[in-house]
Amino acid sequence: MSKINVSTLRKMKNEGTKIGALTAYDASFSSLFEDNGVHVLLVGDSMGMVLQGGSDTLAVTNQDIAYHTKCVRAGAPNTFVIADMPFMTYSNVADTCKNAALLMRSGANMVKLEGGEWLYDSITALTQQGIPVCGHLGLTPQSVHVFGGFKIQGRELEQAQKMIEDAKALEKAGAQLLVLECIPSALAKQITDAVNIPTIGIGAGNQTDGQILVMHDLVGISAGYIPKFSKNFLLEAGTMPAAVKKYMTDVASGEFPAKEHEFN
């Protein structure tokens, strides 16, 4: 597999080729994912729940992400790797640059930050320093206590409009990718059409430029709970390699996510 970079992802958006992404946390699984054609791997702070057993993502540290980024990069030298910036590691521009630098040195191609227009200065500073940025809008798990739980975002007109404006602001600041989580599919399409950068959805319908799932959801081992927007591909495919291939095929064709995986 050829190395994937931001230009590859932008070209895929422009050509209408779907981007397939998964979370990854170690060398073995990242190698499996690269061998089966996954374009993007996210070293997610989701590890706080699926690896560490927490009820949210807030306990994950930058050192945790850096360690697992090194592991993922070792297993997937050619895949595009995004590293999450954990809770309160980007509360000001100076800390953002310092903490992002550690993740880039650990093997990331890009860092991901949760939030809207208030991140403008930090994203501008990161891109000026040569650090590519992925934005994250919608259900931002680090804000779970503000939301009062893991709830769908963007159903109200005012909130939806603000999200569209935030997406445009993130792109203007220099973000080159955007994750949209748990928002109505119609809103995800509006945002995808409003920006020139690729959008990757999770619980956002199939009209984004790509899809991402937590790898544990893909194989049905997320502590007995499978989110509405996910699907147990292992149950259908029988083996891990076949499950990953099926996921990538279904994303490419638009078969996944289907209507039953969307929010209205």
Token reading at 191: 């945002």
Residue type, 162: K
114 is in an annotated binding site: yes
Residues 6+ away with beta carbon under 8 Å from 111: 82, 83, 84, 85, 100, 103, 104, 126, 131, 132, 133, 134
Greatest Cα pair distance, the chain, in angstroms, is 47
Q: What's the Cα-to-Cα distance from 34 to each of 28, 78, 146, rounded to whole Å?
A: 10, 8, 36
Catalytic residue status for 181:
yes
Q: What's the Cα-to-Cα distance from 8 to each of 11, 34, 42, 129, 183, rounded to whole Å?
A: 5, 15, 16, 21, 26
Q: What's the Cα-to-Cα distance from 165 to each of 62, 98, 120, 137, 172, rounded to whole Å?
A: 29, 28, 12, 11, 11
45 is in an annotated binding site: yes
Helix/strand/coil for 211? strand
Marked catalytic residue, from 181, 236, 260, 262: 181
> Concatenated DSSP letters for 78-138?
SSEEEEEPPTTSSSSHHHHHHHHHHHHHTT-SEEEEEBSGGGHHHHHHHHHTT--EEEEEE
Q: What is the CA radius of gyration of the chain?
A: 17
259 is in an annotated binding site: no
- Can you list the alpha helix ranges (DSSP code H) found in 132-219? 144-147, 157-173, 185-194, 215-218
228 is in an annotated binding site: no
26 is in an annotated binding site: no
Show binding-site residues.
Answer: 45-46, 84, 112, 114
Show binding-site residues for 3-methyl-2-oxobutanoate.
Answer: 45-46, 84, 112
**Which residues belong to the active site?**
181
